[in-house]
Every structure is written in structure tokens, then in C-alpha cells.
Amino acid sequence: MMKKTVLATAILTLSQLPTALAPVAAEEVSTERHKVSINTLASGLSHPWGMTFLPSGDLLITERGGDLHKVSLDGTISDPIKNVPEVVAERQGGLLDVTLDPDFANNNMIYLSYSEAAQDGGTGNSTAVARAELAGDSLQNVEVIFRGVPKYESNAHFGSRLVFSPEGHLFITLGDRYSAMDDAQLLDNHHGKVVRIWPDGSVPEDNPFVDRDDALDTIWSYGHRNVQGAAIHPQTGELWISEHGPKGGDEINISLAGENYGWPEATYGVDYDGTIISKKTHLEGAKQPHYYWVPSIATSDIIFYTGDKFPDWQGDLFVAALRGSHVARIDLEGERVMHEETLFDEAIGKRIRDIEQGPDGYIYVITDQPKDAELIQIKPAN
Amino acid sequence: MMKKTVLATAILTLSQLPTALAPVAAEEVSTERHKVSINTLASGLSHPWGMTFLPSGDLLITERGGDLHKVSLDGTISDPIKNVPEVVAERQGGLLDVTLDPDFANNNMIYLSYSEAAQDGGTGNSTAVARAELAGDSLQNVEVIFRGVPKYESNAHFGSRLVFSPEGHLFITLGDRYSAMDDAQLLDNHHGKVVRIWPDGSVPEDNPFVDRDDALDTIWSYGHRNVQGAAIHPQTGELWISEHGPKGGDEINISLAGENYGWPEATYGVDYDGTIISKKTHLEGAKQPHYYWVPSIATSDIIFYTGDKFPDWQGDLFVAALRGSHVARIDLEGERVMHEETLFDEAIGKRIRDIEQGPDGYIYVITDQPKDAELIQIKPAN
């Protein structure tokens, strides 16, 4: 059984009410460079976390509770796809990101990140990544290609975004598990790391720590807090990431091979009463942020816009924000930040969990609510 | 006759009133990195425009109406210094910036920028720069070392800041005179230019256009709108400038020899109803802004903080704002913008015209009001 979105249902139900009460599905807003139309395409999702476009133009959308749906732009939400790996759906944990294999058109492979319980009857959990073949309404040949170590008792800071490099590596961004934050500076674990593997789980020979006995060879960069956003820069091919700071200190970083990004030794975060915490903002040998926010906007995913529907936004970095309930547009000149614009804080005004550019050149976001989360399309106003 | 500031007078007058009514001269505010104390040192100034510290610790402060005062940190404002050049004090024109000769300790020379009427009985005015010896309460040997050409009938967009390069050149920043904005792209005039001369008015041999017959040899860079802020980057030695955009599009630029900064062919400014104006944001061959604001904060002067009183602010760019009634702190990593913080919008909340770092490492600003403009000191809170 297919279910239509709550919004679509509401339109049917309300169709006999006075016109003034009819729900508005589209809103036009002016921004600095483009007038846009905000269109709610689907509603009724529960904490959707990741999304990706299929060649058909439909989306795969994860729900943190553990379901994976196919969602059409007409608002149709499929029943849960079968055979998704079992997840630990507690607080920030659950079914997280989804992405397609670069060769999906030929192999139908998708990748899912999720919080996975210990396999051996032990305690704790960690972020894992599975790949599987999408066959109709079910996954087949599900294979776990990455398991973060150690399994750890926490239900916070799992990362995680999945992004393919231009050369076909899979980047997996991870979190520090909160209470294990000091591990982010140590190379013998996956807490607070960005990982680079091949799609079959094997380790690229040129990973930065493959020759070090005291380091995990899957690690690409370290000293991160909770990396919930990732995108490849369209010109440089480098991996850009967003990470949550503590109270303040959300960061954009360019994740480079073997580099340390300082957490938790250095941060721009401030304490909950607004006073400066004792930590440094600079750590010898570590990278400074490429850009940062105080107070936190609570960054989630990021994209570089490369489409033709918004010419003045080409090359810009778009950062979805949970607490900020907006999208930050970062106007870049090459890699350099020239300007920040706050978008859709009034027109959407909800926690935004994921952002993608559609194959149609429009921008899509999903909001983060327990029952009525939405898929929203942003396109040029007529 | 010395005049005490209005504030100081008020304290004396109110000293017999109940304590609760006593004026508060200092306010403590928290910022992201430092707790600071905001202290109004002097009041009663009329549209002060430029200030500079004397070796004595006193300040020279211009008033746009044409007066130059010596102001002490105890609030004492001297009578106007005699023999200041006659200025065209209309709207944005008048007595503008003041700076000391790098060898002031030996030669007592100061430099003043101002709007100067046509000398030959003709009409119009332009920004001029005079140098003179400060001798007690009077200027001596006043000599005009620069006159903008052409003289033009406008009372808007004169620039102007005076900054010495590490090599001893004098940079003079200019405006496009508003109705002559198209001149900013032409090299046969001084509208919308940054000029570089020697302190005696002579032209440096390595100025970028000295070999071109169709260009004024004093021009350093062009395509500017109204450059009201300038400072030398403490590491690179390069000239950074702030310029007003139209409605939106205030810019920070690094002014480099012979470069075009695009105005009015390219701008991030928007029209008064919020819609995009037809102009481009990019001009082939011109530099993009280093950083920009939409909407405008109305940038005035800028400094790089290099003192020891605010360790976490070292190397940061501070931008005074008129419309914004605040100081923007731009956290730089080298030349790259990492973050912007809005400072003092509540604690000061007045149009700020000039900002300087004192020899004591504190930060000083002057506000922009017709009668009650203030000199304010910002120092670490106890």
C-alpha cells in the first residue's frame, strides 16, 4: 500500500472548505540574487535523515527510526523498503545517510550509514556502512563494508554522510560519540574521524596512515567533532565537511589527507552560559576552520550548487541548519568565503536535516520533525 | 578656553543627585572571545570624522564642519586648532581624515583630507590633502600636496582615508562623487580611485600607470565607489580598504597596484525595493570583493588589531559601521575570512565613523552625531 503525504491528504479533505482555509503549497520569497518558490512536495515523514536522487527522478529517503522509503516528487511515499539493516534507533542513532553507487545505473547498488549494535553480544554501538542492491521494494545482497571501532555506549554523535570522491573512493564522516571526544585526537579508533575506503570496504593504498602501525588505515582526517555534512568541491575535487561545534563553533573544513582539525583541543565553541571555555582556538599542527559560526546554527548537510536553474548561485556552498532553521548560502570565490546569506529562515523556519541538488537543478531539503517532516523543493519563482 | 565634554559636565552637575540617577560612564559586555568595558571618554563633538593619536597620548580629531581639535583621554576638547584649510562643509563634504607623518616625532607634520572648492573661481569641489606642521594650537606651513581632479559639483562620496605604507608612501582613498560614478572606470580622473603619492605630493616611479599617457600617474587602483576605510595588513603590508556599496554591497577589498575593483560595472548592491539591479556581480578583468555585506552596514574605517590587550583579537580586522551602529570583527586566518562577529550594536548602538587602536592597545571609536558625538574607549573588563 502506498501512502500519500499528509499534505496531499489535507488538500483533499479541505477541498470543500472556504478557499481562505485551503493550505498553501507554494510560497515565493526574495533572496539577494534570486526570487524563489518554496514548494512542499511531501509531508508526514518521521525524522528523515538522508536522501538521494534515483535516476528515475524519485528519491530515496531514510528515516532515523530505521525505514528507507522511495519518495516521488508528487508526494507519494512508498512503504518501507525491505531488508534494511537493523539499526540502534536511540536519540541521534538510527538509519542515517543514503547514497548511490557512482555506477548505480548498471549495478543498482546503494550505501546506507547507520548506528549498529555490537555483533558479538557485547555492549555499545558504532556507525556502520552497508551496501546492497536495490531490487524493487527490497534490498538484496546486503553487505557491511565498514564498522566503526570501538563499539561504544553512547547514543550521540554518529556523523555521518557518505560521499564518493571523483576517483571513486567512499568518504564516511563520523562523530566523536560525545563522551569519547578525547579519542578524536587518537588514531587507534574511529571517533571523530573522516574515513576513506573503496566501495567494497578495502583500504586505498594511498590513505595517509597505511604505513603506521599505531593508526587505523581507513582514517583520512581526524580531530573532528560530529561531521554531519559532506560534499566534493566541484573544481578542486576536495572533500568539504561541516561539523557541529559545542555551544558555538560549528565549522566548515576542507578535509585533507592526514590532517588534524583540532577537536577537542581547539574549538571556537563557548560554554553554555556564554563565557569562554578554557580550550584553545588554535592547536599547533592542526588546521584552523575554513569558516565557523558562533553561536551555532547546528549545521547538517552541505552541497555545492552547480545547476543552471540559479545562475547566480553557481559555485556557492549551501549549508543546512537544524537549530538555525535555515539554509546558509556561502558565496565563494574559488575556495575563499566572500559573504554569507541566511535563506528561508522565515519561508521554511524548520530544522533542516539534509539538502541536495536535484537532477533538475532545483534544490531539495528535508526537515526534521518526529511526525510531519517535509520534503521541500526550491525552484525559481515564475 | 578649553571645553570639558558634555558628559564630564553632567557628572559634576549630577553628583548631588541620588546615586541611581548618576550617569554610567562604563558598561561591561561579553563578546565571543573577550569581556570588554565600554567607556565614553568625551562627548559633545559635532560629526567627528577622523582621528589619530599623538605621541603624547592625546588625539587629534576632525569635525566635518571644518574644525580640528586636540582631545585628551580625560575628556578635554581643545579649542579649534588655527589655520586649518578652508573646507566645503556641505553634506558629506568637509574636514575629513587626519594622520601623522611617520616621522612626526621629529617633524611635527600632519596630513588632512578635506573637500576643497575650485581654486580658480570655477565651480565644484574635490577631495584634497594638505600637510602642515602642528605647532601648539596652530598649523604652520600648510601645503596642499594633492588635489583630486576634476573639480565637480557634488556634495557626496569624497572618500577619504589617509594611510602610510610601510615604505612611506601616502595612500589617499577617494569616492566616485555619486553622480560621476561612471568615471570610476576611467583613468583620466580621480573619481572612485585609490591614489598613492609621496608625502611631498610627488609621484612614486613605480606607480602602475606612470607610463600611460591616458592615465593619471597618481592612481594606484580604480573601480571603487566610496572608500571610507583603509589600513595596512600587518603581515603582508598590503592596503586593505572598505567601500560603501549602493543599497547593499559594502565591500572589503585588498587594493593592489593597477587593479580594477569593478564599480559601477559590477556590484553586489541591490535596488531600494529589494530586487536585484541589472548590474553584474562579476566584471571581466576586475577583482571580486574580498568580503561583502548585503544589506549594507555602511562601512566607515577599518583597523587590524595588533595590540596585546585583546590577545584573541590579534590579526583580526575591525570594521566600523554607520548604519549598522556596530563594529564588525572579521576573524582572519592570514588573509582569509573565517568568521564575522557583530560587536557593540547594543552597548554603543550609534553610527560609528572612525576606529583606531591606541598606543595603549585599547580600541577607540568616534560616533557620528551632529552635537553629542562621542569618543569611546574599549578595553578589557576587569
- The H or E element containing residue B215 is none
* Exposed/middle/buried for residue B56 (C-beta within 10 Å: 0-12, 13-18, 19+): exposed
> Is residue B248 less than 8 Å (CB to CB) from chain A?
yes
How many whole angstroms separate alpha carbon B297 and alpha carbon B319? 10
Cell numbers found for residue A173: 564522516
Q: Name the closest residue on chain A to residue B290, using Cα atoms.
A: A338
Name the residue among A276, A288, A333 with its Cβ closest to that of B33: A276
- Return the pLDDT at B272: 59
Whether A288 sits inside 8 A of B248 (CB atoms) is no
Structural domain contains residue B333: yes
Confidence grade of residue A273 (pLDDT, cut at 50, 70, 90): low
The angle formed by the CA atoms of residues A278, A251 and A303, to the nearest 5 degrees, is: 170
CA distance A49 to chain B (A): 28
Whether B293 and B248 have beta carbons less than 8 Å apart is answered as: yes
Please give the average per-residue pLDDT across A64-89, as a whole number: 98
- Return the pLDDT at A14: 37
For residue B139, the SS3 value is strand
Whether A11 and A19 have beta carbons less than 8 Å apart is answered as: no
How many whole angstroms separate alpha carbon B281 and alpha carbon B73? 44
pLDDT one-digit tens code per residue, B366-381 = 999 999 999 999 999 9
Higher pLDDT, A21 or B270: B270
Please give the average per-residue pLDDT across B144-166, as a whole number: 97
Structural domain contains residue A300: yes
User: Smallest Cα–Cα separation from B155: which of B206, B111, B93?
Assistant: B93
Could you tell me what percent of chain B has a pLDDT over 70? Answer: 91
How many whole angstroms separate alpha carbon A85 and alpha carbon A95? 9
How many whole angstroms separate alpha carbon A263 and alpha carbon A194? 13
> Is residue A283 less than 8 Å (CB to CB) from chain B?
no
- Return the pLDDT at B211: 97
Catalytic residue among B34, B157, B244, B326: B157
Structural domain contains residue A350: yes
Whether the pLDDT of residue A287 is over 60: the answer is yes
Phi, psi values for residue B20, rounded to 5°: -60, -20
- Return the pLDDT at B248: 83
Whether the pLDDT of residue A152 is over 50: the answer is yes
Residues of B in contact with A268 (CB under 8 A): 32, 339
| Domain extent for B116 | 6-15+25-380
Q: What is the CATH number of the domain that holds A129?
A: 2.120.10.30
User: Smallest Cα–Cα separation from B339: which of A254, A289, A266?
Assistant: A289
Structural domain contains residue A295: yes
Confidence grade of residue A277 (pLDDT, cut at 50, 70, 90): low
- This complex has an ipTM of 0.89
Could you tell me what percent of chain A has a pLDDT over 70? Answer: 91
> Which residues lie closer than 8 Å to A29 by C-beta, 6 or more apart?
A35, A36, A38, A344, A346, A347
Say how many C-beta atoms besides its own lie within 10 A of residue A119's C-beta: 10
> Cell numbers 555585506 label which residue?
B293
Whether the pLDDT of residue A11 is over 70: the answer is no
Domain count, chain B: 1
Whether B121 and B142 have beta carbons less than 8 Å apart is answered as: no
Whether B262 and B287 have beta carbons less than 8 Å apart is answered as: yes
- Return the pLDDT at B192: 98
Whether A339 sits inside 8 A of B291 (CB atoms) is yes
Structural domain contains residue A10: no
List residues of A with catalytic annotation: 157
CA distance A293 to chain B (A): 7
The whole-chain average pLDDT of chain B stands at 92
Structural domain contains residue A14: no
- Return the pLDDT at B312: 94
The whole-chain average pLDDT of chain A stands at 92
Bridge partners (DSSP) listed for residue B296: none
Whether the pLDDT of residue B292 is over 80: the answer is yes
How many whole angstroms separate alpha carbon B161 and alpha carbon B173? 5
Structural domain contains residue A250: yes
Structural domain contains residue A93: yes
Whether A228 and A173 have beta carbons less than 8 Å apart is answered as: yes
Confidence grade of residue B212 (pLDDT, cut at 50, 70, 90): very high
B190 is catalytic: no
The radius of gyration of chain B from alpha carbons, rounded to an integer in Å, stands at 20
Whether A337 sits inside 8 A of B291 (CB atoms) is yes
